[in-house]
Structure 1
């Protein structure tokens, strides 16, 4: 007996046994380890639009092969195949509506002579790679088809074709997220790496127990929902274009090729392509992703920013990867509120110091370049001065466009909620990230102290209330940047402040941020945030994840604009000159000059800026 090619044998068996009640895992055991394909069949007049749609949305629709008009076989994928018979079940659409499901398309042969077939990669192709990496595949364990969901994420339109992206979901143990991301990222023809990890509501999915396609899959207690782009997006595309007649595979009833599915070892990936995952929010649960190379760069930036030339002992407050996780969160944000201002010089007018505002503007400049909405909140007492400083900074080229500078007044227990959320509704936050840099923070006794232990509460508005309110509002993340432990947000490390910093038990800030970035000088922490955001947005792994696998890589023009917004020695020196013009003094010495925290701009701060830039471009 002559043995038929693998795909034909398997597809013949599928038809012979029928598909009713036949789950994916049953079929997979007949043909383990082979690449499977989603199928879309459209009239030839729509073929070019659909191919363009696939090219623009390659993550959900990785194009394996486009047939010639009227071609039944897919020679490059499976020898002796016949698309009229080789899927266990097909969907028949008329004018965008699903009319019926059939086990064969032979009765439509005359219509198919004027149609083009598209074979698209399928995530079933990477399940063997997950298994090889030691990642449990829950849908296979449970004998179920994978769960598939329509999302609120729009694909990029091409011609007449537009639709939301469809995703698959597989629950994965948290300690297997890195392995999961790495082994699937290496297989782009099976949709590549995840497009979202965490809360399904961030994709517009309300209920995981009610998939739009496939079967519900049960998660274990330590599992995290992981989502991949799905080829069933092609089904939604067919519905959207309302072709008089079109066909797709029935979800889960795939065309099986003769090609082996890849099983890539994560160890074989280059650092620039090896994803690492990090949790950036607990409420809602949200993880982000960057390449190992980008992570290494940002860790080097973080280590430089925490250098302590003043020998203040701030290394005792340092937590690794706070810069990385804060910047991953900021990269996902759309609207950021920044606060700064430490009136340590209570004997002078103004009492502000030169640490804080330069770092705040450095962050704001990069966030603006990344198309984030940015607002700065400060004390009413210093509002007019800071608005003038902002105007001067624009005129001198420190920042390209002015950031709104506003104040916050507490008029009752709900003031912070109404400031942060439209109509005081916690489901409508105006900002999704709050950043405090060198902002005096409230101590446990309700007062605000400088490093000498002097109470300066009378000079401050209660901006801390915004951070404490944010901790109760889902969807708002907070970051604090400090160099002594008495700054807003540094309550996350207050135990270390009390144990290691002078006057620590008195001055330690009691208000914690989600992320606490420790720096030798707080401005350096702001510069580090700007540099890390630049690194992340040049990282192809992070960019892909940020865009849900849709769209193109940043253009050289975009990259150039981001680079122009990085801190430079010239810009930061100019910023200090502007502060001195308004009487703002060095924090440690009260000198009115180009000095921050007792360190002259040259050589200390200029050297750090140059080294940060070197690490950023490395």
Structure 2
């Protein structure tokens, strides 16, 4: 800040203060925050459209303020540390300290916010322009300065991102959510978020810019449908003003320091003060941020669209996405030379696993009775991958069930029990069957009381599950119709497509598997007999693999990577969670050569055969476990165990 700019400010103040007219006399004027705090005329302007313009152009970090009795200060500080995204603590004062030396010179918290809220026993009793009348009480009170999202709006504009609330001359919209902050002492309250509509093609840029400013709440905590946060009407914010979207915009939500106002209300202190939402304390610190172009991949978020109904995006670090893409490439290798690469679509694995990571309840189905002349007719591809996914999902705290054909239910119960005894999976997976027909039966199976608004499952996964062709039959790769051995589990996937919030994944290696209807045109064009055998039932995500089991292993590994990714984990927990603490338990649930060999031996024990050859031995799809499958598993684990820093 040059001396000339300081003098310019003082001249303006002497000649009527800061008004739109006097400000226009100094094009490009950058407001000096100390002087800004001296101007009483700025008080009302700060909360209107002109104030929004100044807030954007000031170029300095801004802060939310909470002032509490010193007896509550330690608990509130711990509350801030436990909920760092909504409450990034910039400075805690001493009792009776008006200033905040690390943030601003010559500050006086009694006068430096444009407007204050006064709370008595948690109830808002007044709004005032200064706290001078409370000087005596403030001698025993501590001031907390908390980061504010206004501080990153300038960075967004610099990056070419339109900031709709600024364009419209409005305070940002702030909403109380259904997410609850981590409790400390008397402090427990809902998370408050700000919402800014962002053009779809700017989502990555917005996530990257704001992630680099943790003192201003960091990156988004939710992108998509407000109802997922418990917000029913974005036109009626609890704080601030409604902000209108433009065509092509997506609602993006950040944690908000007004969470501190909610904390004051919920803890009901005898007397407390906060800034009035939107009327911030301006520091002397510039709101500079590192360019996203210079950030290492482990610190660079990327976004993915994972659901349309409801609209939902997720995110992970660029390094984690690169690792998952390596897993995807390994899983689609084709040593059997089946031409499966022609069906491959990049990032189906990462999008499926992001969706699974957000899920609480997952249904898995498998079973391809290709050996119609044997009893049992099942093959060794599918069940190992299903169990590998179930083991990781259980380790991550998800509820998992497996649906299979009624005729194979008892055998699968015994197989799962043996797998638990041998340490392949830690907890038995509940097994169900579905033999109903039609959409109504499927919806009753998938939803409580048959109500699509009460789904039992968030995500359905089919791995090497025989899929219904366009003529209603089920074909193996030799065009043999095996419909008589298959229960209509396809109906569950068809019904799921109409249930809001329920996603589906299909994993296959030939195109005749359930869910691979998403790439039916490619199957018809490139696979032998594709026009007849191609599955007609699509999943939201179709993971193409050289052997379907490899897709299950890759899903397990990808889920591990995502939940170890600090960017994804923070987003998954709406900015309220702690760094991963269960990595050791997750790691112990990853597939391994030893576990997969043991499980394959269990399948052989029950007469389950290799798919291509019908051999009863340690073989899947005509490929022996050693060296082919064991080598794939080792390579998947090697990529999984690499740290994100390995992916530059």
- TM-score under structure 2 normalisation? 0.94
1:173 aligns with 2:199: yes
User: Using the alignment, how far apart are the partners of 1:572 and 1:562 within structure 2?
Assistant: 17
1:607 aligns with 2:638: no
User: Using the alignment, how far apart are the partners of 1:239 and 1:34 within structure 2?
Assistant: 29
- Which of 372, 387, 402 lines up with 1:361 in the alignment? 387
- Which of 455, 468, 471 lines up with 1:429 in the alignment? 455
User: Using the alignment, how far apart are the partners of 2:51 and 2:157 within structure 1?
Assistant: 13
Shift of residue 29, structure 1, vs aligned partner: 5.2
- Which of 510, 513, 522 lines up with 1:484 in the alignment? 510
1:336 aligns with 2:385: no
Q: Judge conservation of contact 1:42–1:116 (CA < 8 Å) in 2.
A: yes
SS for the counterpart of 1:351 is: coil
- Which of 268, 275, 280 lines up with 1:249 in the alignment? 275
Aligned equivalent of 2:296: 270
Aligned equivalent of 1:111: 137
Aligned equivalent of 2:23: none
Shift of residue 470, structure 1, vs aligned partner: 0.2
Aligned equivalent of 2:127: 101
Q: Deviations over 1:461-489 (max 9, x none)?
A: 00000000000000000000000000000
1:441 aligns with 2:467: yes
Shift of residue 22, structure 1, vs aligned partner: 2.3
Shift of residue 30, structure 1, vs aligned partner: 8.1
Taking structure 1 as reference, are residues 524 and 205 closer, same or farther at Cα in structure 2, changes over 3 Å only?
A: same
Q: Judge conservation of contact 1:36–1:254 (CA < 8 Å) in 2.
A: yes
Aligned equivalent of 1:82: 108
User: Using the alignment, how far apart are the partners of 2:41 and 2:385 within structure 1?
Assistant: 66
1:563 aligns with 2:570: no
- Which of 522, 525, 528 lines up with 2:554 in the alignment? 528
User: Using the alignment, how far apart are the partners of 1:513 and 1:412 within structure 2?
Assistant: 18
Q: Deviations over 1:403-445 (max 9, x none)?
A: 0011012155411001100000100000000000000000000
Shift of residue 80, structure 1, vs aligned partner: 0.6
- Which of 216, 220, 229 lines up with 2:242 in the alignment? 216
SS for the counterpart of 1:87 is: coil
1:35 aligns with 2:61: yes
Q: Judge conservation of contact 1:441–1:448 (CA < 8 Å) in 2.
A: yes
Taking structure 1 as reference, are residues 252 and 482 closer, same or farther at Cα in structure 2, changes over 3 Å only?
A: same
- Which of 597, 603, 614 lines up with 1:579 in the alignment? 603
SS for the counterpart of 1:277 is: strand
Alignment of 1:280-291 (within 5 A): 280-291=306-317
Give aligned pairs, total. 616
Aligned equivalent of 1:589: 613
Shift of residue 32, structure 1, vs aligned partner: 1.8
Aligned equivalent of 2:24: none
Mean Cα deviation higher: 20-29 or 126-135: 20-29
Q: Judge conservation of contact 1:420–1:430 (CA < 8 Å) in 2.
A: yes
User: CA RMSD for the aligned pairs?
Assistant: 1.3
Q: Judge conservation of contact 1:15–1:88 (CA < 8 Å) in 2.
A: no
SS for the counterpart of 2:392 is: helix
User: Using the alignment, how far apart are the partners of 2:394 and 2:263 within structure 1?
Assistant: 34
Q: Judge conservation of contact 1:132–1:263 (CA < 8 Å) in 2.
A: no
Shift of residue 21, structure 1, vs aligned partner: 5.9
Q: Judge conservation of contact 1:24–1:253 (CA < 8 Å) in 2.
A: no
Unaligned runs of 5+ in 2: 11-30, 643-648
Aligned equivalent of 2:28: none
